[in-house]
């Protein structure tokens, strides 16, 4: 399975990404843990720090293009329409994957998108441009069924609406029982529905306030995690039995789904068709201010 962990800032995305990674590791599965947030919390939670040098995936553009045998005249937006895109591979690793992963623990490989530096403040490219190669890499990454890819995301809807997760099996929204956190879930779901990306919920820091089921259908809730000091210290051995039982429930639910992995690249193709149609439409109109 290839899962993007999304949700409101502070809801617990990096903690849940860590917890799932550790759980799959404890089941002797291999995990590719992709830290796609600029603050690199998942990497840190897994014991990585900046003194351990790994090339950041946001700098992978040259390698990406070389592997694809494309020159820079080909834009990312045009890639989904091409028939000659090459698949990447995790275990065995293609050269790009091999270069950008670091074996942080037995069974866990870490990939880090990287931080934001001041060059972006003065650069001529939008910050999203640094994420383009990852956006294309995700749907093109092949792996064995038993291996897991977990992607820890930037907070909120920004990366979701950028289309970063068109190429995953499912998005897991980490939700707290607050109106704002549930609001972010609704926004993410609206975008996901547009592309039929399955969306599930992990309730985190669960206090049993009782309002949750009014806002989120119980069928999509994979499990609920209470307050746990082990999720502050990132020490798997100190997690409470309740947390361990919750993560087991969550993973058993995930195990029971059978996603069609060909949809990952297909969604990009659908996006491209819609994008081209919109572009043609927009050429017929005069520029209008953004209003809705
Ligand atoms: N279930 C939990 N119990 C106690 N603390 C938690 C729990 N989940 C997350 N935290 C803490 O909440 C803070 C925010 O969590 P984090 O995973 O970094 O959120 P996000 O990645 O969504 O911004 C961190 O300090 C983390 O240790
Ligand atoms: Mg985080």
- The ligand with the least distance to the CA atom of 6 is 1
Dump pLDDT digits (tens) for 98-134: 999 999 999 999 999 998 877 777 877 788 888 999 9
Whether 291 is covered by a domain: the verdict is: no
Whether 177 is covered by a domain: the verdict is: yes
Sequence-ordered list of residues with C-beta below 8 angstroms from that of 161, at least 6 positions apart, any chain: 191
Is the torsion defined by CA of 154, 57, 201, 248 positive or negative?
Answer: negative
* Test site for ligand 1: of 8, 13, 15, most ligand atoms within 8 A of the Cβ: 15
How far, in Å, from the CA of 204 to the mean position of ligand 1?
8
Task: Say if CB 54 and CB 112 are below 8 A apart.
Answer: yes
Alpha helices in the chain (DSSP H): 13-26, 41-45, 61-68, 95-100, 118-122, 132-140, 158-161, 179-194, 212-215, 230-233, 241-255, 263-284
Whether 30 is covered by a domain: the verdict is: yes
State residue 186's pLDDT score: 96
* Test site for ligand 1: of 6, 12, 247, most ligand atoms within 8 A of the Cβ: 12
205 lines ligand 1 (CB under 6 A): yes
Dump pLDDT digits (tens) for 133-165: 999 999 999 999 999 999 999 999 999 999 999
- Six-digit token string for 289: 């201010």
- 225 lies in which domain range? 2-284
**Mean of pLDDT over the chain:** 95
The number of domains in the chain is 1
Whether 33 is covered by a domain: the verdict is: yes
The four Cα atoms 50, 51, 55, 56 give a dihedral, to 10 degrees, of 0
State pTM to two decimals. Answer: 0.96
224 lines ligand 1 (CB under 6 A): no
Whether 279 is covered by a domain: the verdict is: yes
CA 31 to chain centre: 13
Whether 290 is covered by a domain: the verdict is: no
Whether 289 is covered by a domain: the verdict is: no
Q: What is the CATH number of the domain that holds 174?
A: 3.40.50.300
74 lines ligand 1 (CB under 6 A): no
Distance between CA atoms of residues 144 and 54, nearest Å: 24
Task: Say if CB 12 and CB 45 are below 8 A apart.
Answer: no
């Amino acid at each position: 399975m290839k899962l993007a962990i999304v949700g409101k800032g502070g809801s617990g995305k990096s903690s849940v990404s860590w917890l799932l990674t550790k759980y799959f590791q404890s089941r002797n599965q291999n995990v590719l843990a992709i830290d796609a947030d600029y603050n690199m919390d998942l990497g840190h939670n897994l014991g990585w720090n900046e003194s351990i040098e790994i090339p950041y995936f946001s700098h992978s553009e040259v390698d990406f293009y070389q592997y694809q045998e494309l020159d820079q005249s080909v834009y990312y937006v045009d890639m989904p329409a091409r028939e000659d895109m090459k698949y990447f591979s995790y275990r065995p690793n293609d050269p790009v994957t091999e270069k950008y992963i670091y074996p942080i623990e037995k069974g866990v490989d870490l990939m880090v998108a990287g931080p934001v530096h001041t060059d972006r403040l003065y650069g001529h490219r939008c910050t999203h441009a640094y994420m383009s190669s990852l956006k294309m890499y995700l749907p093109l990454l092949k792996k064995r069924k038993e291996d897991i890819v977990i992607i820890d995301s930037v907070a909120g809807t920004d990366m979701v609406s950028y289309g970063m997760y068109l190429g995953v099996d499912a998005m897991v929204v980490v939700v707290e029982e607050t109106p704002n956190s549930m609001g972010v879930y609704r926004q993410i779901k609206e975008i996901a529905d547009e592309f039929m990306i399955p969306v599930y919920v992990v309730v985190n820091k669960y206090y049993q306030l009782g309002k949750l089921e009014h806002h989120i259908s119980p069928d999509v809730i994979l499990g609920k995690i209470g307050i746990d000091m082990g999720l502050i210290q990132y020490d798997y051995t100190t997690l409470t039995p309740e947390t361990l039982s919750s993560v087991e429930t969550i993973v058993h639910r995930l195990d029971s789904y059978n996603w069609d992995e060909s949809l990952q690249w297909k969604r990009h193709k659908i996006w491209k068709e819609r994008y081209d149609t919109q572009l043609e439409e927009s050429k017929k109109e005069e520029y209008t201010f953004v209003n809705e």
